[in-house]
Amino acid sequence: MKIRKAIIPVAGLGTRFLPATKAQPKAMLPIVDKPAIQYVVEEAIASGIEEIFIIINPSDSSIQNHFNRSYILEEILERRKKFELRDELKKLSEMAKIQFIIQKRPKGLGDAILCARPFIEDDEPFAVLLGDDIVKNKIPCLLQLIRIYTIHQSPVIGVSHVQDSDVSKYGIIHPRNITNSRIIPIKTLVEKPALHLAPSRYAVIGRYILSPLIFPLIEKIFPDQNQEIQLTDALIQLSKIRNMLAYVFRGKRYDVGDKLGFLEANIDFALRREDLNKPLTNMLRKK
């Protein structure tokens, strides 16, 4: 079955970026001149996704406004003969069928995904993309996972090899067996383990292909010490009843939910632009 739908949860409070995120969602912080969430939406569309469900909190109207048409602004740009910019803004609202779903309380990633359950058919695989992760590659990261799913018909989790110092920040996969392939059978997962307890150095990185089997498993998960329902806990249960695969995706990944990763993304993306490369390079050399 073709994977047509994607869930993008961005309802978190963005506490790592306070005070910048006190009055605006973290997903709207710009990478150069485009909000982070737009890069994630564009990846989904480039991967063949037709319907996108963005999970937001009740105060995140700016995300909806960003993807809705602004006729007044388009008219102003047209009068000023800024046709290219006008067309770019119009394209935003035509990229895909985007629906917004409210997560009433910040109860974790698992609960956010559960909010989209009414929109997923009983036998329909779907994608999940986290807004904190931007991946730059000729073949979109999500499309890489979709291709693996199409061949193996098993849930697929995007992973990346991380340094020892970062292991405790991520969910870490426990491989079923060692393989030289980018495709790794999963035995189970461990959420943010201490280094000496980590079963591998392969961290779960914000891209998933899942089946609706995950929904009843999420419903059975008890909240953690922060009163959040963790997706990793449901994936551990899923691994007991279904074969699951990790895929070491190709591409440069930016953790834009981290301050240093956010700055790195802004610099790298700016350096790729003809209008910014030279002046930015000169500025950096003077530092």
Per-residue pLDDT at 55 = 95
Per-residue pLDDT at 122 = 84
Judged against a pLDDT cut of 90, whether residue 138 lies above it is answered with yes
**91 vs 155: which has the higher pLDDT:** 155
Q: Per-residue confidence at 275, pLDDT binned at 50, 70, 90? A: very high
Judged against a pLDDT cut of 90, whether residue 81 lies above it is answered with no
**70 vs 99: which has the higher pLDDT:** 99
Q: Per-residue confidence at 177, pLDDT binned at 50, 70, 90? A: confident
Average pLDDT of the chain to the nearest whole number: 91
Per-residue pLDDT at 61 = 86
CATH 3.90.550.10 describes domain 5-252 = yes
Per-residue pLDDT at 21 = 87
Judged against a pLDDT cut of 90, whether residue 179 lies above it is answered with no
Per-residue pLDDT at 190 = 92
Judged against a pLDDT cut of 80, whether residue 287 lies above it is answered with no
Q: What percent of the chain has pLDDT over 70?
A: 100
Round to whole Å and give the CA distance between 235 and 219: 12
Judged against a pLDDT cut of 80, whether residue 280 lies above it is answered with yes
For the stretch 216-271, pLDDT in tens is 999 999 988 888 899 999 999 999 999 999 999 999 999 999 999 999 999 999 99
Q: Per-residue confidence at 20, pLDDT binned at 50, 70, 90? A: confident
Mean pLDDT, residues 183-202: 93
pTM as predicted: 0.92
Per-residue pLDDT at 59 = 82
